[in-house]
Amino acid sequence: MTEIVEKNKSFRDYYSARLENGSLEMIPHCACGNTLNEDYFCEQCGRKCHCHLIVCDNETTMATVNEYIRKSSQFTGFKAKLSGEG
């Protein structure tokens, strides 16, 4: 899994997002790339992670995520980007 690095070179926890049979599937990851369990605790780093970035696998997923960000209060504070973007 690719690590997410911000412009200031700090690592950031994130969700990887994709559409599966028309439903949005988001999997949490630590900034180190480790997939997280339901408690968001990274056993590799030994820290509690906080995901506020959603990395989308394609433009269709990105459009769906952006719609959720605009319309749902549960997505307030999230940012989205396409996988592979800087």
Give 4-61 pLDDT, tens digit per residue: 554 444 569 999 999 999 999 999 999 999 999 999 999 999 999 999 999 999 999 9
* Model-wide pTM > 0.85: no
| DSSP state, residue 2 | P
What is the tally of structural domains in the chain? 1
Contact 57, 18 (CB under 8 A): yes
Asked whether residue 4 is assigned to any structural domain, the reply reads: no
What average pLDDT does the segment 69-86 reach? Answer: 91
Asked whether residue 62 is assigned to any structural domain, the reply reads: yes
Task: Give the residue from 28, 84, 72 showing the smallest Cα distance to 54.
Answer: 28
Cα 6 to Cα 72: distance, rounded to the nearest angstrom: 25
Asked whether residue 19 is assigned to any structural domain, the reply reads: yes
**39 is in which domain, residue-wise?**
14-82
Asked whether residue 44 is assigned to any structural domain, the reply reads: yes
Asked whether residue 73 is assigned to any structural domain, the reply reads: yes
